[in-house]
């Protein structure tokens, strides 16, 4: 899979591409992340990539010419990160991870010229209801979320337990030492009894989801075991 990111600030992506899981995946050629500097496509003397908005108002808008030129050099579905977009979520990430190539335009300042959106953007996507100085962090977040779903980037078992993969929030995690400052790891996790551990984790996931994100349970099919565990949870919570 290839992810192109069009940005005015390519340097913001150097750490993202060199560190940790994404860094290793790129080294192993499991995927490609191609950072395209929009400014490289400004042919005027001052390399002006943005300009004042017609009709007045604060902020700057990214000019159409450099974007159209940059878009000629990439392929795939074109996504534009903007507060006006559809909400990004794991379901959309899973869909986008199926694509051979995608291109993300990181808007900056007040955004990009609407003629680019009208004629080239396939999907406007927002990572949440808040405004950032630029679309680079949203582009990085989306690329990270999509990249980790590419086969080989992380162990398959890891993402199959993803909170949003099975529709529930994650259970609590512990590692050594088994006791720290008097705080103990739940006994069951040290028992080596895999069935009990699996049940404990499912119950903890259900409890957390029930307490923190009950909306995720609405419309979610519960297995017989999940129904039993949820009844236990409600009894224990006295609710």
Ligand X SMILES: CN(C)c1cccc(CNc2ccc(C(N)=O)cn2)c1
Cβ closer to ligand X: 10 or 200? 10
Cis peptide upstream of residue 225 (ω within 30 degrees of 0):
no
- Among 148, 201, 204, 208, the active-site one is 148
Catalytic site residue 172?
no
CB of 93 within 8 A of CB of 125? no
- Among 65, 101, 110, 144, the active-site one is 110
Cβ closer to ligand X: 83 or 167? 83
Catalytic site residue 122?
no
- Provide, rounded to whole angstroms, the least separation between the CB of residue 118 and ligand X: 15
**C-alpha span between 236 and 239 (Å, rounded):** 8
Three-state DSSP class for residue 178: coil
**C-alpha span between 211 and 203 (Å, rounded):** 12
- Provide, rounded to whole angstroms, the least separation between the CB of residue 82 and ligand X: 4
List the one residue out of 20, 19, 17 whose CA is nearest residue 31.
17
CB of 109 within 8 A of CB of 83? no
Catalytic site residue 83?
yes
CB of 109 within 8 A of CB of 59? yes
**C-alpha span between 211 and 230 (Å, rounded):** 11
Q: What is the C-alpha radius of gyration for the chain, rounded to an integer number of angstroms?
A: 23
- Among 83, 144, 170, 226, the active-site one is 83
**C-alpha span between 114 and 216 (Å, rounded):** 35
Catalytic site residue 138?
no
- Among 40, 99, 101, 162, the active-site one is 162
Of residues 53, 64, 76, 83, which one binds ligand X by CB under 6 A?
83
Cβ closer to ligand X: 64 or 134? 134
**C-alpha span between 9 and 137 (Å, rounded):** 11
Cβ closer to ligand X: 67 or 189? 67
- Provide, rounded to whole angstroms, the least separation between the CB of residue 142 and ligand X: 9
Residue appearing with tokens 């995720």: 216
Residues between 89 and 148 with contacts to ligand X, criterion CB under 6 A: 107-108, 110-111, 126-128, 130-132, 134-135, 138
Which positions from 146 to 185 touch ligand X by CB under 6 A, shown as an x/- string?
----------------------------------------
User: Any idea which residues carry the catalytic annotation?
Assistant: 83, 110, 148, 162
Binding residues for ligand X (CB under 6 A)? 81-83, 107-108, 110-111, 126-128, 130-132, 134-135, 138
């Amino acid at each position: 899979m290839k992810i192109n990111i069009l940005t005015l600030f390519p340097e913001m992506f150097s750490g993202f591409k060199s560190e940790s899981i994404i860094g290793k995946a790129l080294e192993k050629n499991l995927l490609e992340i191609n950072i395209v500097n929009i400014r490289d496509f400004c042919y005027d003397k001052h390399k002006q990539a943005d300009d004042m908005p017609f009709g007045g108002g604060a902020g700057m808008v990214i000019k159409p010419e450099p974007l159209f030129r940059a878009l000629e050099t990439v392929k795939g579905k074109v996504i534009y990160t903007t507060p006006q977009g559809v909400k990004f979520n794991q379901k959309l990430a899973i869909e986008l991870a199926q694509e051979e190539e995608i291109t993300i335009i990181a808007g900056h300042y007040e955004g990009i010229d609407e003629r680019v959106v009208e004629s080239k953007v396939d999907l406007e996507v927002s990572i949440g209801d808040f405004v950032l100085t630029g679309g680079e962090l949203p582009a990085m977040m989306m690329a990270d979320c999509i990249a980790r779903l590419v086969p080989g980037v992380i162990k398959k078992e890891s993402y199959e337990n993803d909170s949003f993969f099975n529709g529930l929030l994650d259970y609590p995690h512990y590692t050594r030492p088994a006791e720290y400052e008097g705080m103990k790891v739940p006994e069951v996790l040290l028992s080596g009894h895999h069935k009990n551990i699996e049940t404990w984790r499912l119950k903890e996931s259900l409890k957390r989801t029930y307490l923190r994100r009950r909306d995720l349970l609405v419309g979610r099919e519960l297995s017989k075991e999940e129904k039993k565990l949820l009844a236990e949870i409600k009894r224990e919570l006295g609710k």
